[in-house]
Structure 1
Amino acid sequence: MNQWLRENSALVLVTLCVAIAVLLLASVVFMILWIVARHGRRRALVERVEADRDRLDFELLAAEQTSRLRIIRELHELVIHSITVIVSQADGARYAAAQDPAVAARTAATIAETARTTLADLRRIVDVGRDGEAEAGPQPGLASLRELFAVMRDAGLRVTFEELGERLELKQGAELAVYRILQEALANSLAHGGQGTEARVTFRWTADGLEVLVDDDGARVAAARGEGPDRGYGQDDDLAALTAEPVGRGITEMRERTEIYGGVFRAFTMPGVGFSVSAIFPALAYHNGVHGVRL
């Protein structure tokens, strides 16, 4: 056996090299396929989250439009009844005018009062209809936070929520701004950190305003999966986190929504940990109606 190995050592060496090359090639192919599959799963996850968000928004819009149509129908019935009363009173005044002008004058006053009430109802119908037509998209509010968190958790994001202070009564526009900021921040946490990322949401209410804070550990989770940078972070990363300004469509949209309601927006990276979003509304209570007047 030893003699055969000595005589065929070159053949054995070539065979071993070929086997090793085949194994290396197979490993590389397997690694490429695994990376492609992982990115495909990540893309499918993001698409599913977006689809769930759209579904939630459409369900909220449908419920809101159904409520609006019910209000319009009820007001419409009141207007029909009021107009019927006005017609009857006008007929009575016409016949009474020939016999007793005083009765006709009193009837005219009643007709005028009924007409004013009817006009107010008609204006309400127009306002409700205009609100429905003016909506460029669905408008959820703070009452929809539970559904938003459920969608994100189903997608793999670990969401914890803490609310401090007494919640203010806000107009729909202000609630929509807060909801959209939170929705975008959670979507970013899931997109960049992936499944298993924890997003800690905190609402701090004051007498006049609100602070919204979203902290995630996406960088740490990605590093644990082997998707982060090979090197550790140091002073350069800390300096970049303090001075660099995060950019992107989502960041711009969150900042604009915050500033519309007199708030201050900030987004920054926590090296080795994740990403944080802060939207502070110091006087949100004064944006319920007339600027500068708390309603």
Structure 2
Amino acid sequence: MYRKVADVSVWQSLSAVLAGLTVVFLVLWLRSAVRQRGSRFDRSAAERVRIDLELSLAEQHGRLAIIRELQDIAVLSLARLITRAEGARYAAESDPSTAVRAATALVDDGRVTLADLRRVLTVAREGESIQARQPGLQSAHNLFGVMRDAGLAVGFTESGDRFPLKPGAELAIYRILQSALANALKHGGAGTEARVSFTWTQDGLQLLIDDDGIRAAARRESASASDFAARTTYTIDDDLKALSESISGADITQMRERAQLFGGIFNAGTVPGVGFSVSAVFPSLRFHNGVHGVNLSR
């Protein structure tokens, strides 16, 4: 009798210990999951910052080249101005009328030199103001250049008549484009080709980014043509899975949320045997002010 009671007590103790361990492991697992999620967000943010910095560097490098050219012209104009001023000073001693004509010409030359110097200041100040504001579609071609330098081949087409965008919408579209290209390079690797298209409609915009990351990886890893064909072969089941699968991840979530803020419809999915496709359709972007669907009474 006592032995049975002891056995029951032992089992109860073991059950309590196991329950306690289960709770501890669950807490540790949750903490690990939170840290991993935070790490993914941190890597995503760091990658975006890196691309922004490289883009800014490329823009400022081009601006400095323009400043150097204008500065060289201004210095040359100033040197000629000084030379002609010295000539006018010597001419004034013997022929005052010649000195008057020379002084008139000096005034004109001085205005030209002053205009060149003001152009230098204008370009420099524009660089400061651009550096201070958020990137937009005016930076898209520079973004393509940065991605090409990193190993992603980018093709771009645009159709329709572009219309002005509100700053928030322009930034959202730029971030979607930036994230999609960064993901194409991250998952497809160097040599991946991305095709970007902007289709402007009367009231909206359709943004499409297709890449061949699967084929690019197969090209790098295949030893022969048959090996490449085997790695890129897909079935009807693969097509059906691609149509029904739900793509998740921090970058995908952020892109979807950015699109929804401006009435956009976001889709992302695998293209079997080829790569990945991202689309964002904004049917009423021209008239969408960024507060549609937002509860402004709170």
Does the aligned pair in 2 maintain the 1:93–1:104 contact within 8 Å? yes
Using a 3 Å threshold, how does the CA distance of structure 1 residues 20 and 186 change in structure 2: closer, same or farther? farther
Deviation at 1:15, TM superposition (A): 2.5
Equivalent residue letter for 1:136 = A
Q: Which residue of 1 aligns with 2:199?
A: 205
Q: Which residue of 2 aligns with 1:82?
A: 77
Deviation at 1:47, TM superposition (A): 2.0
SS in 2 for 1:266: coil
2:132 to 117, 136, 140: 136
Q: Which residue of 2 aligns with 1:273?
A: none
SS in 2 for 1:21: helix
Q: CA offsets, 1:184-231, max 9 Å, x none?
A: 558999xxxxxx9xxxx985423778615599x9x94569xxxxxxxx
Does the aligned pair in 2 maintain the 1:210–1:280 contact within 8 Å? yes
CA–CA separation in structure 2 for the residues paired with 1:104 and 1:187 = 62
Using a 3 Å threshold, how does the CA distance of structure 1 residues 69 and 209 change in structure 2: closer, same or farther? farther
Does the aligned pair in 2 maintain the 1:202–1:212 contact within 8 Å? no
Can you give the 5+ residue segments of structure 1 that lack an aligned partner in the other structure? 1-5, 151-160, 190-195, 224-249, 256-264, 271-275, 284-295
Using a 3 Å threshold, how does the CA distance of structure 1 residues 117 and 177 change in structure 2: closer, same or farther? farther
Identical columns (%): 27
TM-score normalised by structure 2 residue count: 0.52
CA–CA separation in structure 1 for the residues paired with 2:141 and 2:7 = 73
Residue 58 in structure 1 maps to residue 53 in structure 2? yes
SS in 1 for 2:263: strand
Q: Which residue of 1 aligns with 2:263?
A: 266
Can you give the 5+ residue segments of structure 2 that lack an aligned partner in the other structure? 149-153, 181-186, 188-194, 210-242, 250-256, 268-279, 288-298
Q: Which residue of 2 aligns with 1:166?
A: 159
SS in 2 for 1:129: helix
CA–CA separation in structure 1 for the residues paired with 2:5 and 2:145 = 69
Deviation at 1:76, TM superposition (A): 1.8
Equivalent residue letter for 2:140 = L
Does the aligned pair in 2 maintain the 1:58–1:138 contact within 8 Å? no
1:23-172 correspondence runs (5 A):
23-96=18-91, 107-108=102-103, 110-134=105-129, 135-137=131-133, 139=135, 141-146=139-144, 165-166=158-159
Using a 3 Å threshold, how does the CA distance of structure 1 residues 69 and 213 change in structure 2: closer, same or farther? closer
Equivalent residue letter for 1:9 = K
SS in 2 for 1:205: strand
Does the aligned pair in 2 maintain the 1:56–1:147 contact within 8 Å? no
Deviation at 1:132, TM superposition (A): 2.6
Residue 180 in structure 1 maps to residue 171 in structure 2? yes
Does the aligned pair in 2 maintain the 1:142–1:175 contact within 8 Å? no
Deviation at 1:26, TM superposition (A): 1.5
CA–CA separation in structure 1 for the residues paired with 2:132 and 2:178 = 21
Equivalent residue letter for 2:62 = S
